[in-house]
Amino acid sequence: MATIIYKRILLKLSGETLMGEKSFGIDPLKLSHYAKEIGEIVELGVEVAIVIGGGNIFRGLQAKDSGIERVQGDYMGMLATVINGMALQSTLEAHGVYSRLVSAMEMREVAEPYIRRRAIRHLEKGRVVIFSGGTGSPYFTTDSAAALRASEINADVILKGTRVDGIYSSDPELDKTAVKYDNISFNEVISKDLKIMDKTAFTMCHENDIPIIVFNINKHGYLNRVVRGEALGTLVK
């Protein structure tokens, strides 16, 4: 039996990761890859909650550039996360992984309303819980939603899946001299103004003693190796 270091995780996926090589929308190959990776750790006995962004469809911060009021734009972004959540749920279940889509915004026809105790019960029964709709309030990012939900469900760790293999001193896709951090403190992340998650999310994790691991979700087997405790990516604690 595999040794699991993290029994209950919150996996944070950005909407952009779903695009794959596309410029917008959802790449079915990426969805299938994530479903397989998640299915592997569910079989190990890991309890998995997921918060997914909506940037592949619409970002609330885009609203100011399109003449849409910020609050309205944020709600549009929240709806985009529900669309992504529905797509991920469908793909997970096609791979034999039971899941529940939960929304902070009420829409009974497609998702359960968020009730903390019910969500925890789903996790205890081995179901993947997909949190959508952000926090249900404007002015909060899905990073903040991830930190909030992780705190509420008593997650052991937040795993932030990205296209790069950790936190760097600058964007490694733009700066070839960027230096990777293997371990870094919350205070250092905030003082260095590293743009991997927003400050609200980092502060909430810091206050609730929830470590964050930033790793490359696109590498096969990395999610499995991270929950077993292998030192991949960057650990923030």
Convert the pLDDT of each residue in 188-218 to its tens digit: 888 888 877 888 898 899 999 999 999 999 9
Distances (CA, A) of 53 to 12, 14, 132, 226: 8, 5, 8, 21
Return the amino acid letter for 94. Answer: A
Task: Count CB-CB contacts under 10 A for residue 67.
Answer: 7
Nearest in space to 205 (alpha carbons), one of 151, 167, 154, 130: 151
Q: Which helix (H) or strand (E) holds 15?
A: none
Rg of the chain's alpha carbons, rounded to an integer? Answer: 17
DSSP type of residue 228: T
Asked if residue 101 lies in contact with residue 89, where contact means CB atoms within 8 angstroms, the answer is yes
pLDDT over threshold 90, residue 109: yes
DSSP type of residue 133: S
pLDDT over threshold 90, residue 17: no
99, β-bridge pairs: 128
- Percent of the chain scored above 70 by pLDDT? 97
Q: Please give the Cα distance from 87 to 105 (Å, whole number).
A: 17
49, β-bridge pairs: 10, 129
In CATH terms, is domain 8-236 a member of 3.40.309.10?
no
Asked if residue 113 lies in contact with residue 106, where contact means CB atoms within 8 angstroms, the answer is yes
Distances (CA, A) of 220 to 3, 149, 226: 19, 26, 12
Q: How confident is the model at residue 2 (pLDDT cuts 50, 70, 90)?
A: low
Q: pTM here? A: 0.93
113, β-bridge pairs: 103
Looking at the chain, list the stretches that DSSP marks H as alpha helix, in order from N- to C-terminal side: 28-44, 63-66, 70-94, 116-124, 142-152, 186-191, 199-207, 222-227
Asked whether the CA dihedral 225, 230, 235, 237 is positive or negative, the reply is positive
Highest mean pLDDT among 141-145, 170-174, 194-198: 141-145
Predicted pLDDT of residue 97: 97
- Please provide the distance, in angstroms rounded to a whole number, between the alpha carbons at the two ends of the chain: 28
Question: pLDDT tens, 22-72?
Answer: 778 899 999 999 999 999 999 999 999 999 999 888 875 566 667 888 888
Q: How is residue 155 written in tokens?
A: 């997650």
Q: Please give the Cα distance from 154 to 237 (Å, whole number).
A: 16
DSSP type of residue 84: H
